[in-house]
Amino acid sequence: MQRSFATHDPSGSRSPELKGGLNNMKAVKKLPVITKVSYAMGDLGANMVCQSVALYYLYFLTDVTFMRASLAGISLMLVRCVDAFSDPLIGYFSDRTRTRWGRRRPYLLFGSFGCGLFFFLLFTYLPIRDQGLLFDHATFSYLIFYICFSLVNIPYSALTPDMTQDYDERTNLTAYRMTGAIIGMFVAAGLTSELIKLFPNERIGYSLTAAGYGVLFIILTLIVFWGVRENRDYSVKHDDTPMFRLYLNSFKNRPFVMVLLAYIMVELAIVLISSTLIYYMEYYMKKKELLSTIFLTMFGSALICIPLWALISKHLGKKWSYFMGTGLFSIAMICIFFIKPEDILLLYLLAALAGMGLSTEFVYPWAMMPDTIEYNELMTGKRNEGVFYGMQSFGPKLSGALAGLLAGEVLTLVHYVPKLVNQSSETLLGIRLIFCIVPVLFTGMGMVFIALYPISHKKFQEIVAELDRRRAAQS
């Protein structure tokens, strides 16, 4: 199989074969497998650390450092809000970066080291009893970690439209990427708690496990740096519009707004479920030892179903496949709310069903985003990939902020007591609601926005044809 970047010099110079820019990308539709696998390593590492934070950090704060749940929720909210506003800045500057390594890859090289270090510090226990000092330490570590994470993840995400212009190949590339993402989730969900058990206590276990994950994240990110090339021709100019107005203008792109809003709603649901499952298993099901296998069942089902959804999208399109999967996920979570603590087998079956629906969240928002960039170029003559990926990254950060605040406040409201084996019936109901029902309210809103997304396969082909016609006329 021909390598699509075989004639691309890492220094940034282009041979005659690549001077056709986007038109040449259209001719070479298939990316080599090694490129796709290298690209997938980025999301493997990203999800390994990011999902470890989503799954365990709230619990680490409340049950290991003994920070009050309401304070922990406020800390999570503040950091994610600040980090969310830093994302558009990173996207804006990555669009305008010019180096011999390209626009995006330098961020991966230098940001990975800070992210790995502060992930370790995030889960490092300090013998602090003062709630104010605990809050300050947690908030500072969390903030620096996520800023470093964004320095890597936003340019990494913006590589997708730089690598291929083909509608189906983007879905295929995204499927590889999200396979890596789910493997990273496997590590976070299935391996983390088992590794922690190997150490004398949770405090040491969390710290040393985080150290190992931090080093692995750096290595995986460097694989992306060396294994992927940016094939984007810089002849398509970016807006000279001031940055703030440029981001406001992105909301004029209706397909982008629909994808963004759907993504925010579904991500909010997923973060709520991820951060409260440990409470649900320990205090309601009283089966904390099964936490890893429940995670593995859900994410394993999601991983297996990625090729299935890629196939379904060829017949139904990205929009309705995404809609169907989100609906399936919502039905499974409603059913989980009604099960009894002794219904372990039923919980596994429903977790697998939820994972099947969850699979679409890993594929379609990221496969639909490049199409909205083509739409933006059609409407404005500009691309600004980093702007749009910065805004898309803003979405889950906002979701994380709201989810952290909601989870912390609900646990406080229902009088949750850390390490109390027999929680009150009020507390258990609150845990079940925040784990099952509240997320479904958000996925329902997400489905509305998915249904309003206007770009079909046919519409996308029309957009690309018109852009090609314009480029041909200009040349």
For the chain, domain boundaries: 31-227+238-467
- Count Cα neighbours of 82 within 13 Å in the Cβ-side half-sphere: 14
pLDDT greater at residue 98 or residue 422? 422
- The secondary structure of residue 452, as a DSSP letter, is T
pLDDT for residue 202 is more than 80: yes
Share of the chain above pLDDT 90, in %: 39
Instruction: Flag the least confident range among 80-84, 217-221, 278-282, 372-376.
Output: 80-84
| Residue-level pLDDT at 14 | 37
Secondary structure element (H or E) that encloses residue 472, with its range: helix 457-474
Q: Name, in order, each residue with C-beta under 8 angstroms of 420's C-beta and a sequence gap of 6 or more.
A: none
Q: Give the long-range contacts of residues 77-80, CB within 8 A, separation 24 or more.
A: 77/401, 77/402, 77/404, 77/405, 78/139, 78/401, 79/139, 79/142, 79/143, 79/146, 79/401, 80/146, 80/397, 80/398, 80/400, 80/401, 80/404
CA distance 63 to 99: 46
Class of domain 31-227+238-467: mainly alpha
CA distance 90 to 82: 13
pLDDT for residue 285 is more than 90: yes
Instruction: Tally Cβ neighbours within 10 Å of residue 45.
Output: 31
pLDDT greater at residue 102 or residue 316? 316
pLDDT for residue 1 is more than 50: no
| Residue-level pLDDT at 27 | 46
Taking residues 358-381, report their average pLDDT.
85
Instruction: Flag the least confident range among 201-215, 220-234, 282-296, 345-359.
Output: 220-234
| Residue-level pLDDT at 2 | 32
Q: Mean of the per-residue pLDDT values for the chain?
A: 84
pLDDT greater at residue 323 or residue 235? 323
pLDDT greater at residue 86 or residue 281? 281
At 422, the pLDDT band (50, 70, 90 cuts) reads very high
Q: Name the residue among 248, 263, 288, 270 with its Cα closest to residue 384.
A: 248
**pLDDT tens digits, residue range 215-253?**
999 999 999 998 887 765 544 455 566 767 777 777 888
Three-class DSSP category at 8? strand
Instruction: Tally Cβ neighbours within 10 Å of residue 249.
Output: 16
Taking residues 415-432, report their average pLDDT.
93
Q: What is the pTM of this model?
A: 0.70
**pLDDT tens digits, residue range 180-189?**
887 898 888 8
Question: Are the C-beta atoms of 81 and 423 separated by less than 8 Å?
Answer: no
Instruction: Tally Cβ neighbours within 10 Å of residue 310.
Output: 21
Question: Are the C-beta atoms of 54 and 121 separated by less than 8 Å?
Answer: no
At 3, the pLDDT band (50, 70, 90 cuts) reads very low
pLDDT for residue 51 is more than 80: yes
